[in-house]
Amino acid sequence: MINKFPWWKNLLIFLVIAVGFFYALPNLYGEDPALQISGTRPAHGMEIDAKTQAQIKAELEAKNIEGVYALENGQLLIRFPSTEQQLAARETVNKILGDNYIVALNLAPATPTWMRSLGMHPLKLGLDLRGGVHFLMEVDMDEAMKKMRTQLVNDFRSELRNHDIRLSGARAEGDHVIVEFRDDASRKAAEELLASNHKDFVIKSIDQDGKFRLMATMTPGKISQIRTNAVEQNINIIRNRVNELGVAEPLVQRQGADRVVVELPGIQDTARAKEILGATATLEFRLVDGNADVAAAASGHVPAGCEVIYDGKGYPVVVQKQVILTGDHIVDASSSTDENGRPQVNISLDSRGGSIMSNFTKDNVGKPMATNFIEYKVVPDEDPNAPKPGDKNYKPKFKKVEQVINVATIQTRLGSSFRITGIDSAKEAHNLALLLRAGALIAPIQIVEERTIGPSLGQQNIDNGMKAMIYGLTFLCIFMVIYYKAFGLIANLALFFNMVLLVGVMSLIPGATMTLPGIAGIVLTLGMAVDANVLIYERIREEIKQGRSIQIAIHEGYARAFVTIADSNITSFITALILFMVGTGAVKGFALVLMIGLASSMFTAVTACRAIVNIAWGGRNLKKLSI
């Protein structure tokens, strides 16, 4: 019998819609202003426990600030009835806990616990809907390449010495690494070794001024790989720093060849975010030349293989140029106080770093070692015609700032754990530890664009978007009922199903975020869904005008319109897929919503609508149809 689905098919359609409705339910509960409190290093005892929670609760209640407390995995989440109480509570909690804890403003979903236990979560809202801060950051590729060449010089030295090949010097010169030897035999042995171990380099012999030299040049493929890795590693490090800030649902992604987009929904302390994200702090450990004449070195007479770096009080320190270890090997860092109550930073190294430090200190007991703190600061371009921050071609200029923060005599063989003293304040020690454990940026990075969106503007965007969608849907539904009568009601019901499925699927996808362009994607999807119904209904009308029976007209209307609907939706889906693959940010969000909406509209307009029509009119001897 035509226009009749088997019972299992009707049941399956009902189950799909029910599941979509089930997972869309959490979006009805909204969000509460909240504080998210966590320890900077749980492994060192800095975590929230029941005692700390009771202390916070007592202080807040004393100031008539009511909240709902939830302690889980060493983190405390406090919900408040209003934003005013949330902000007042943050000031109080900061005074209680100090610098050893992260107190972040948040918006916590008001979803019931039983829903969260089933994996039901509301849609994540983007920056334009929730409010927060947007940074566009640019990686200094010149400095990344310079650091890589310096590292290569050290690697070549170590590699040749491990194979008993004597060299008289190695240095970075422009885009090349130059290695000098005392005789041609050593050079040939080195060329064979380096060429076999470093396939991404062009290594050739050069004779100049009677010296035997090798010149190693990176291939274009290697240079491209280094540039890509510099951006990707910086992205990972920035993600770690965002986690240290305690931001919920951040966005960190690459844009173009050397830029990174960072969006921090809900963040209001933008100065703190900029300080932590843009900082390029790292450490170097170097041996101090104890025999050098410090006064002579400060005036320019520096011993060979050494350089002068000043400490925090402006005193010169003569250190060897060869770096023992860099901050890249640091896996953990925490601030504390020593036995005299002075601030210090406890350092833990990875296995390779621990091995390097152990081997070096074993042979240098009794010698002074300096801890050199390095950061890169942006300096203004002296050229008045140079692009300014925010311009398309703006390239920031960085200045390397070095400072010896500690000189200590190596008393014994060190391992993978040791401490740094000589830091001025507890806050400075805390910030240094935070930056070191989050990772040192591979290359300096500069914020070239900053946008701040307030929570009130985000709410205004939501309200305006919802108004536009409600007004559009209302007029559309009225038109469909007037023009297509009973079938118009079914089309309106299909629109509701489509909306439910779209929101349900978006809520299920872990990385999906609803933005203002996403709302535009929903509106476009609903319009295209109605378009499918219009094609079907007009085809049914034509079949009836041609004298077909009602049942045949319904059957032919759905069957013949399907090809046109499928063709239209598939081409639109391919376009949305391309946008999703090549787009970023708002474009990507719009494309994702459009793809999900196109798939759900095909289901609701063709299958779900057909099921309702079959139940209402299928198998009946009809003389007239309300269409």
Task: Write the pLDDT tens digit of every residue in 460-469.
Answer: 777 777 788 7
Closest CA to 608 of 536, 520, 552: 536
Confidence band for 1, pLDDT divided at 50, 70 and 90: low
Tens digits of residue pLDDT in 314-347: 889 999 888 888 777 777 777 788 888 888 888 8
Q: For the purposes of burial, counting CB atoms within 10 Å of the CB of 11, is it exposed (0-12), middle (13-18) or buried (19 or more)? A: exposed
Q: Output 159 or 493, whichever has higher pLDDT.
A: 493
Neighbours of 451 (CB within 10 A): 12
Q: Does residue 108 carry a pLDDT above 70?
A: yes
Q: Output 458 or 199, whichever has higher pLDDT.
A: 199
Predicted pLDDT of residue 578: 92
Rama region for 515: left / alpha / beta (φ>0; ψ in -120 to 50; rest): beta
What mean pLDDT do residues 261-267 have?
76
Kindly report the pTM of this predicted structure. Answer: 0.57
> Which of 153-167, 496-510, 568-582 is predicted with the least confidence, judged by mean pLDDT?
153-167
Q: Output 155 or 8, whichever has higher pLDDT.
A: 8
> Which of 1-10, 386-395, 425-434, 614-623 is predicted with the least confidence, judged by mean pLDDT?
386-395
Q: Does residue 440 carry a pLDDT above 60?
A: no
Neighbours of 183 (CB within 10 A): 11
Confidence band for 276, pLDDT divided at 50, 70 and 90: low
Confidence band for 42, pLDDT divided at 50, 70 and 90: very low
Tens digits of residue pLDDT in 86-96: 888 888 888 88
Q: Output 436 or 536, whichever has higher pLDDT.
A: 536
What mean pLDDT do residues 372-399 have?
67
Predicted pLDDT of residue 41: 47
Q: Does residue 511 carry a pLDDT above 70?
A: no
> Which of 99-103, 546-550, 563-567 is predicted with the least confidence, judged by mean pLDDT?
99-103
Q: Does residue 373 carry a pLDDT above 70?
A: yes
Q: What is the dihedral of CA 162, 166, 171, 176, to 10 degrees?
A: -80
Tens digits of residue pLDDT in 171-194: 887 778 888 888 888 888 888 888
Which amino acid does the sequence have at 501? L
CA distances from 589 to 261, 265, 497, 506, 579 (A): 15, 15, 21, 11, 9
Q: Output 487 or 151, whichever has higher pLDDT.
A: 487
What mean pLDDT do residues 284-311 have?
86
Predicted pLDDT of residue 272: 61
Q: Does residue 75 carry a pLDDT above 80?
A: no
Predicted pLDDT of residue 43: 37
The partner residues of 532 in beta bridges, in order of sequence, read none
> How many Å apart are CA 520 and CA 517, to the nearest integer?
5
Q: Output 100 or 558, whichever has higher pLDDT.
A: 558
Are the C-beta atoms of 559 and 539 separated by less than 8 Å? no
Predicted pLDDT of residue 100: 62
What mean pLDDT do residues 519-527 have?
83
The torsion angles phi and psi of 404, rounded to 5 degrees, stand at -75, 115
Q: For the purposes of burial, counting CB atoms within 10 Å of the CB of 485, is it exposed (0-12), middle (13-18) or buried (19 or more)? A: middle
Q: Output 235 or 443, whichever has higher pLDDT.
A: 235
- Which of 289-298, 384-393, 449-458, 569-578 is most confident? 569-578
Beta strands in 330-396 (DSSP E): 330-337, 343-349, 368-379
What mean pLDDT do residues 188-217 have?
82
Q: Output 272 or 68, whichever has higher pLDDT.
A: 68
Task: Beginning with the edge strand found earlier in the chain, give each strand of the sheet holding 176-181 in spatial order.
Answer: 169-173, 176-181, 211-218, 201-208
Q: Packing angle between helix 550-582 and helix 586-602, nearest 10 degrees? A: 160
Retrieve residue 444's tokens: 């300096």
Predicted pLDDT of residue 16: 92
Predicted pLDDT of residue 392: 60
| Mean pLDDT, all residues of the chain | 80
Q: Does residue 348 carry a pLDDT above 70?
A: yes
Predicted pLDDT of residue 17: 92
Q: For the purposes of burial, counting CB atoms within 10 Å of the CB of 31, is it exposed (0-12), middle (13-18) or buried (19 or more)? A: middle
